[in-house]
Structure 1
Amino acid sequence: MVVRREQARAAAGDNAREVIERLRRVLPAEVVRGDATTRAAYVSDGSVFRIPPSAVVLPRDADDVARVLEVARESRTPVTARGGGTSIAGNAIGEGIVLDFSRHMDRIVSIDPGTRTAVVQPGVVLDDLRAAAAAHGLTFGPDPSTHSRCTIGGMIGNNACGPHSVRWGTTADNVIGLRGLLADGRAIDAGRGSSGDPDIDDRLRRLRDRHLVPLRTELGRFSRQVSGYGLHHLLPENGFDVAKALVGSESTCAVVTEATVRLVPSPPVRLLVVFGFPDVFEAATAAADVARCDVLTVEGMARDLIDALRTRPGREQAGGELPPGDGWLYCEVGGADTEQAMAAARAVTALVAERFPAASARVVTDPAQARALWAIREAGAGIAARMADGGEAWAGWEDSAVPVGALADYLRDLYRLMDSHGLRGIPYGHFGEGCLHLRCDYDLHTEHGLAAYRAFMADAADLVAAHGGSVSGEHGDGRARSELLPRMYGPQTLAAFAAFKEVFDPERLLNPGVLVDPAPLDAEVRPGPGHDRLDLVPVHALSGDGGSFARAVGRCVGVGSCRTLHAGSMCPSFKATRDEVHSTRGRARVLAEMLRGQTLPRGWRSTEVRDALDLCLSCKACATACPVNVDMATYKAEFLHRHYAWRPRPLAHLSMGWLPVWSRLVTVAAPVARAVNALTARPGVAALVKRIAGIEPRREMIGFAAPTLRRWMGRRPSPQKIYNVKAAAQEATSLSPRTVVLWPDTFTNFHDPGPGRAAVEVLETLGYRVELPRGPVCCGLTWHSTGQLGPARRALRGALRALEEALAADRPVLVLEPSCAVMLREEARELLPDDPRAHRLARLVTTLAELVDAHDGPWPFGDLDIDAVTQIHCHQEAKGSFDADLRVLGRLRVRSDRIGSGCCGLAGNFGFERGHWEVSQACAERELYPKVRAAAREDLVLADGFSCRTQIAQGTDRRARHLAEVLHAALRAGGDRGPGAPSGGTREET
């Protein structure tokens, strides 16, 4: 059988071009993807394995699937079904044709509230089904932590479970019927009592009757035993349920095209009870008792997970809401109303207090706090991919399970086993059902490390079997654990598995290497030897990855947070195109393939990599929203820097990358700026300029300031002395007003000085003396975003020289443009890591909101009492905080409706470049444009980013304002009031 599998793989490699041509003869070109970029993006899933496919097909319906299977039979090409690609065991990759159901076959066919059932296609995302069912007070019970992007088809393939399976069971428990196709083209309609094919039913009954004893004694012993095939569902006492037997078969037997699933009533009120224990072992011991209570979840985690989370940017205080302890259980309870839910919470709290007196507890009634706590647990797969000290941790022994009563002893023995192998790991998981997630710091980069990995996996399999457990508890066996099945099952059970596969797929075309005829668990490991052949010293320090570009790219473990469509800010281009290549994960895979130098042999000159990165907006959402902080904007800048080294660049890189230079030249004198504005206002001239500059024809030209902010500052008369109480006191005692350095960024200085002028007057009213840096400055943002890292570093060095006096005096540097603030706070240290001035500047940079929020003198602003639609700049959301802005807006009585979809879509040069118009507009249409259009005329539209204001102005009939302009307007209604004083009064002027 192994020979047969190797022959199939060789055939797939040799005939890839022919297979793609055959597919394109029977399917539309847009659903057949055979380009190297796409195949590189699909080389892996959420596992440690790497297998480049021959082709990727995005089927539209069952007929397309049938045509693919026909081509597969004729060409002897393997077929692998894939949903969200979040498999941690390597069940969603293959060397032949990969069927990605998530793109088109994602329809909820029907929901029947009366029978509490739903009919869905395999590409339906779990959260979409849950949202549709919620309208009827129902839900789909199993809910893995990847619920925002995993698909029902993938859940069926792996028999996924999730936190609520302690109440509602596994996916198999919630599947009623499956429709699909076999590799030979036959259709099945499987359910309780039949597969829909009499011949298959007859063969399955004979198989079952030959193996009655092992099916009854070795399978179905506890809820999380999902390793192997679920043949116990074929037993007479279980109703000969073929659909349930196929759940967890990892698409090795049939390709599912439609499923009928069970829905369950969702409690109207849910409360979270969190228990803290002295250690994770006591938490594991308590899990069995808690699981017997009327609870919806019993989730466990150890201190290791919190320690790792606190190393993530912006998460240093994470877990502070947890009760004291070093091990925790999350217990969700539900009820028809709050009183009933509270009664359930009191009952489980009393039980734990009685049996575990050292435990602490917290009942969380605030939904926002509950969501924040759940976010810790749900991000576990990503968080655990990095140890607290930054070391890598990998899946492999990812989701073993034991009967819940044996969990504590198993966990203790597992820690001892890790210690004996010199490994560290971060445990967490579904403690109420004995299922444990664990990533370890295996060395998967060397042959010696892979041998040690194999040895640990074998010992771990023996250990879990000794505790009566399963090598897999919900993610399936895949390539990670199929080879280990003989360590937990006897020869008769394994023979039954092989016979089951033979009934459905005798030619071994469907997902070969999984379950039956397993691939070696240490073969084709993605981070294995040779993964970093093209690694080199990057321009950025990449301080979090030891200066290794390969290690930085390798942060992506494939959990797929970037594929969430309806929530969050990552990844905007994927949300617009729904193309795996345009996800953060897809781009990371393509970059990794480039570094390996096999499927993309042109390295840094690769046009495939360039194309994969082209639609990255460099919004930096992934730098924080990704649980392992993949920073694709930085990787893109590094790639473009090398890709275009000593080569002609796109025109847009020369026009918009060098915008600071062109803007300075055009605004050398106000008459020149006005003349250029007049010329570019003419359609013919504008069209010519846009063609020469590589600018999208449908974009409007931006204007130039006449005069610039710097010239306005230089020519204005001495500012009128407007003092609040504190400033007057300073003058009376001969103290100089506090000095703040206003950073004249390119956009504020040369294009839109209004926010700068408003900021100056606001600051002077607060008692500051405002000065500008000596000489022209630039943070290098436009060069950085276009991958021109040499000019970017030179610009930063020039800025540091201009700021030397301010840095020496520890003067705050106020930056009005959020992207420039991030550039000076974050990127400067990475681009100039050995320059102490860059680190000092990062500490001194402040935003206007932060400065005003910290102001401890009288409050000179009046109440605006107005609603606002607020677009937070994507860089500020990713690398900063909007908390100070909210506090300031709150004091102004500005009620802010925040845009939650992330980047506005313009993203600096991105939205102006040719070929980006559709994605740019699609990003804005997700939430920004609709909310701005729906806002009342008297409502404010707020956006501190120049790009955001430009996108709003060019896509709606509204003008967005900077916070500085809002504060300036509030001065007119302001008065001298102490912090927190009620509004009213008159501003004193001297």
Structure 2
Amino acid sequence: MPASSTGNLHATDFRRRGGRARGREYNGPVNDLERDLRRVVRGSVRFDPASLLLYSTDASMYQVEPIGVVTPRDADDVIAAFDVARRQNVALLPRGGGTSLTGQTVNRALVLDFSQHMNGVLEVNAEELWARVQPGLVQDELNHAIRDLGLLFGPDTSTSNRATLGGMLGNNSGGSHSIAYGLTVEHVLELDALLADGTRVRFGTVTPAEFEAKMRLDGSEGRIYREVAAIRAEYADEIRARYPKHWRRVAGYNLNELVVVAGSASPDQDVGGLSEKRVAPLNGAPLNGAPINMARVVVGSEGTLLTVLEAKVRLVRRPKKTAVDVIHYASIQEALESSQSILETGPYAVELTDKLILDLARNNIEQRARAASRRGAPVRASGMPRTWPTISPSSSRSGSCARPASACCSA
């Protein structure tokens, strides 16, 4: 809840009274932190009650008032804010679009809002299928920028019109088309980032020789490579034996990227120019002579390992034609039993819409015209009619795996 509702003082009240506010878990005077930040940061620095209240919430049920808010203009601003926060022992919280449903973007910390200024597409290589982007870039804006090139960024969150690439990297986002394109981890090539102590690193694919050279570095970067090597040496067999084999799992660090773990990624589909067979072993570790991509190790760590300044991401080719199959069922059980057969046709997405949702849509003025024509029965739809690819050409066979499709459209 807001600080004012618990009797705590806002930052402005604290400065006027010139003392330490009771109940505040903060290790230094607010005015010192704000003053030091304003001296070195070119972007905005906010400690006013309205801004603190605004950034105390995201799309989740949680509300935690931050210590302050910085909207950095560039990497130099981020580095400067890191330096001030480290000297004053203040936690940092990177933030994108605030679309989190579980509270990842609220905390008692200094919030770094990347969505205001660090939101650009820096470079696109259409031949090699990659782009360099800033963390505050909204996913839909990236896809709009590369649409005329016939490309897209594969992972698609339901909040793609406001979710940022930095947040997707932090959460290892997937979306409804993850059965075709996989998770964000499969689309990251390099990360330019800051470690907690302010060390700037570039994580990407390294050969065994490069990995060993990194291990000899002084400071945090070298220590990370040495600890990664130690983890791999001690737990490689355990990771291979017990790491989850299903691809929709975001529950900590991607230790499977340190060793060869078969089947721990998305289904075996060669779509959109993404030639990697995702049930094949993932990037191996230098132990067996293969390169390792350190960027993929940290994707999904939710800001606990580093703060992203810039990312090089993989792009895929946009399908020239898409189609939607709508299949009606007498019961949800019948629909679920046909799921495996539908997946064998290679769809881009599979959605289940039940009677409750259909009835609500029919009673909604905006959605009434889009509601399914048949009343009552659940609908199994291999994708939704939107600008995204929804079903692959081979999925026209899906009507034979259960009941005839009642509608099929292509574009």
Length-normalised TM-score, structure 1: 0.33
* 1:215/1:320 CA distance change after superposition, 3 Å: same
Distance 2:112 2:306 in 1: 13
State the Cα RMSD in Å: 2.5
Could you tell me whether the CA contact under 8 Å between 1:274 and 1:322 is conserved in 2? no
State the identity %: 32
2:249 corresponds, among 216, 222, 225, to: 225
Could you tell me whether the CA contact under 8 Å between 1:12 and 1:78 is conserved in 2? no
1:346 aligns with 2:396: yes
SS at match of 1:329: strand
- Provide the residue aligned with 1:328 in structure 2: 379
- Aligned runs of 1:144-543 on 2, under 5 Å? 144-193=157-206, 197-235=221-259, 238-239=283-284, 240-309=292-361, 312=364, 314-315=365-366, 317=368, 320-321=371-372, 323=374, 325-332=376-383, 344-353=394-403, 361-365=406-410
* 1:95/1:186 CA distance change after superposition, 3 Å: same
Distance 2:152 2:116 in 1: 23
CA drift at 1:352: 2.9
Counterpart code for 1:202: R
CA drift at 1:220: 4.0
SS at match of 2:149: coil
* 1:326/1:70 CA distance change after superposition, 3 Å: farther
Distance 2:307 2:337 in 1: 40
1:12 corresponds, among 1, 4, 26, to: 26
* 1:315/1:202 CA distance change after superposition, 3 Å: same
Could you tell me whether the CA contact under 8 Å between 2:342 and 2:395 is conserved in 1? no
Could you tell me whether the CA contact under 8 Å between 1:169 and 1:223 is conserved in 2? yes
Distance 1:45 1:88 in 2: 8
Could you tell me whether the CA contact under 8 Å between 1:106 and 1:121 is conserved in 2? yes
SS at match of 2:243: coil
- Provide the residue aligned with 2:106 in structure 1: 93
Counterpart code for 1:138: L
CA drift at 1:137: 1.0
The size of the alignment, in residue pairs, is 345
SS at match of 1:12: coil
CA drift at 1:203: 1.4
Deviation by residue 1:401-436 (Cα, 9 ceiling, x = unmatched)? xxxxxxxxxxxxxxxxxxxxxxxxxxxxxxxxxxxx
- Provide the residue aligned with 1:66 in structure 2: 79
Structure number having the greater strand percentage: 2
* 1:298/1:55 CA distance change after superposition, 3 Å: same
Structure number having the greater helix percentage: 1
- Provide the residue aligned with 1:26 in structure 2: 40
Could you tell me whether the CA contact under 8 Å between 2:362 and 2:371 is conserved in 1? no
Distance 1:316 1:63 in 2: 47
Could you tell me whether the CA contact under 8 Å between 1:166 and 1:296 is conserved in 2? yes
Could you tell me whether the CA contact under 8 Å between 2:348 and 2:392 is conserved in 1? no
Distance 1:127 1:72 in 2: 32
Could you tell me whether the CA contact under 8 Å between 1:296 and 1:333 is conserved in 2? no
CA drift at 1:13: 7.2
Deviation by residue 1:271-328 (Cα, 9 ceiling, x = unmatched)? 111222223333233222212212211122323333444565x247365335555433
Deviation by residue 1:25-76 (Cα, 9 ceiling, x = unmatched)? 2113x51111110110111111111110011111111111111111111111
* 1:20/1:212 CA distance change after superposition, 3 Å: same
CA drift at 1:260: 0.7
1:117 corresponds, among 108, 130, 134, to: 130
Could you tell me whether the CA contact under 8 Å between 1:300 and 1:327 is conserved in 2? yes
Structure 1 regions of 5+ residues with no counterpart? Answer: 1-8, 335-340, 354-358, 368-990
SS at match of 2:382: strand
Higher relative contact order (CA 8 A, sep 6+): 2
- Aligned runs of 1:76-91 on 2, under 5 Å? 76-91=89-104
* 1:202/1:325 CA distance change after superposition, 3 Å: farther
Distance 2:226 2:165 in 1: 29
CA drift at 1:99: 0.8
Distance 2:104 2:130 in 1: 27
Distance 2:31 2:356 in 1: 48
Distance 2:392 2:331 in 1: 27
- Aligned runs of 1:967-986 on 2, under 5 Å? none
Counterpart code for 2:71: L
- Provide the residue aligned with 2:276 in structure 1: none
Distance 1:80 1:326 in 2: 46
Could you tell me whether the CA contact under 8 Å between 1:79 and 1:94 is conserved in 2? no
CA drift at 1:192: 2.4
Could you tell me whether the CA contact under 8 Å between 2:46 and 2:70 is conserved in 1? yes
Counterpart code for 2:251: S
Distance 2:255 2:44 in 1: 35
Could you tell me whether the CA contact under 8 Å between 2:361 and 2:368 is conserved in 1? no
Q: Which has the larger radius of gyration?
A: 1
Could you tell me whether the CA contact under 8 Å between 1:281 and 1:327 is conserved in 2? no
Deviation by residue 1:620-674 (Cα, 9 ceiling, x = unmatched)? xxxxxxxxxxxxxxxxxxxxxxxxxxxxxxxxxxxxxxxxxxxxxxxxxxxxxxx
CA drift at 1:207: 1.7
SS at match of 2:99: coil
